[in-house]
Amino acid sequence: MNISDHINSSSNIINRRSLLGQSGIALGSLAAASMLKGETSSPINKGLLGLPHFKAKAKRVIYMFQSGGPSHIDLFDHSERINELHGSELPKSVRGGQRLTGMTAGLKKLLVCGPVSPMKQRGNSGTWMSDMVPYTGKVADKITVVNSMHTEAINHDPGITLLNTGSQIPGRPSLGSWASYGLGSSNSNMPSYIVLISQGNGKNPGQPIFSRLWGSGFLPSQHQGVLMRSGKNPLLYLNDPPGIDRSTRRRMLDDLASLNKETYQEFADPEIETRIAQYEMAFRMQTAAPEIVDISNEPKSTFKLYGEEARKPGTYAYNCLLARRLAERDVRFIQLFHRGWDQHGSLIPHLSAQCKDTDQPSAALVTDLEQRGLLKDTIIIWGGEFGRTAYSQGSLRNGRDHHGRCFSIWMAGGGIKQGHVHGKTDDYCYNIEKDP
């Protein structure tokens, strides 16, 4: 049975499970094209799975996930009337019966709070951005800001799970695992999906980041993300045990692989093959991984671009630098999780601290990849699980609650329009008016 027959015979099952609807038709098309003939599309493939007419521009993704819900109203979503409306009560017609979280349900009035920092138009595109993100403002002409994102989730974990797996219910494959499953790896010495986590310098500890966010769900476990830690030993259990040299390790792995193959022949469990592949990958990574985290040869200009925080393992700036180094080595999907955006109180100091952590290195990554010729085939995504309310949580400028009706992200790189703003919200930055 060839691939066309297999796909045709399985089409009903795929439709019933809404597989392509959940995981993205575009990704499925890319995957099919890749499986048929490496990185290239062929004119022979007539209409198979609705293959795209044009060859995909992107080879890899860097997803800078900002956990906690960055405030769109304070950073990217400009309203000409919002400052005029500051201090007024949010009209019921605007709220439209939206449910509130337990943190604001008891408030007698929902008072509109304008941006805590001035907004200006940036670059030749005139994209509106806050003074809190001046470095991002410098790359405004290289990115697209989307102000019309929305979600049904009202709390963090369902929202984060939805953005990373396509469902609020845990257990589905993550974005990176789908990319790995569909497109495979371009570097045999590194996993196709790598995850880096950082914590903001503000007092807000942030929401927990669960490993299921980079899990493979019902896909083979070889496609789950690999968490890379900071420091000299970025991956757990990668180094050889004391007294075991590399040649001995090789013989041990060969013997273990032989036993696993016998077990596979008996039980045909695909996870056995996955385990064999993981052992082999770990062996190859013993050389590749330490070299990636060794930034001692980076020039001073690198740290001028990313900021001095990039010298400190575990910081967001350091992880952005590692993301560039991983992109250079053709890792397919690189995901950064940065915590600390949940500003229910102390809005001004905490939001300012988060922006100080993330603004310069995020913009630096765009610039750095462009200078190295990698931006054109790398998709960069910056954003969180939802936005923040236009009204204040408590006294004015105290904090903002969760808001899913609209929020902002920005994107750059392969195939993304430059210097563009997509979507528009109302005067209160509360509801989407255009291009949801």
Q: Which two tokens stand for residue 410?
A: 């920005």
CB contact set of 305 (below 8 Å; sequence gap of 6+): 364, 367, 368
103 and 47 belong to one structural domain: no
Helical axes 270-293 vs 246-267, angle rounded to 10°: 150
Strands 119-122 and 127-130: antiparallel
Query: DSSP string covering 224-255, please?
Result: S-EEPPSSS--STT-SPPTT--HHHHHHHHHH
86 and 129 belong to one structural domain: yes
Confirm if 199 and 206 have CB atoms less than 8 A apart.
yes
Has residue 254 been placed in a domain? no
CB contact set of 272 (below 8 Å; sequence gap of 6+): 260, 263, 264
Domain boundary among 16, 35, 56: 56
210 and 180 belong to one structural domain: yes
Confirm if 140 and 366 have CB atoms less than 8 A apart.
no
Q: What pTM, to 2 d.p., does this model score?
A: 0.85
52 and 157 belong to one structural domain: no
Q: Residue 30: name the closest of 379, 278, 281 by CA.
A: 379
Residue-range definition of the domain harbouring residue 369: 58-238+289-434
The per-residue pLDDT string of the chain (436 residues; one tens digit each, 9 = 90 and over) reads 444 444 344 444 444 444 445 544 444 444 444 444 444 433 333 333 455 567 788 999 999 999 999 999 999 999 999 999 999 999 999 999 998 899 998 999 999 999 999 999 999 999 999 999 999 999 999 999 999 999 999 999 999 999 999 999 999 999 999 999 999 998 988 999 999 999 887 666 778 999 999 999 999 999 999 999 877 777 776 677 788 887 887 888 888 888 988 998 888 888 888 888 877 777 788 778 888 999 999 999 999 999 999 999 999 999 999 999 999 999 999 999 999 999 999 999 999 999 999 999 999 999 999 999 999 999 999 999 999 999 999 888 899 999 999 999 999 999 999 999 999 999 999 999 999 9
> Tell me, what amino acid is at 341?
W
Domain boundary among 21, 38, 56: 56
User: What are the backbone angles phi and psi of residue 168, rounded to the nearest 5°?
Assistant: -75, -20
52 and 91 belong to one structural domain: no
28 and 63 belong to one structural domain: no
49 and 71 belong to one structural domain: no
Centroid of chain to Cα 295: 23
345 and 359 belong to one structural domain: yes
Q: How many domains does the chain have?
A: 2
39 and 97 belong to one structural domain: no
204 and 107 belong to one structural domain: yes
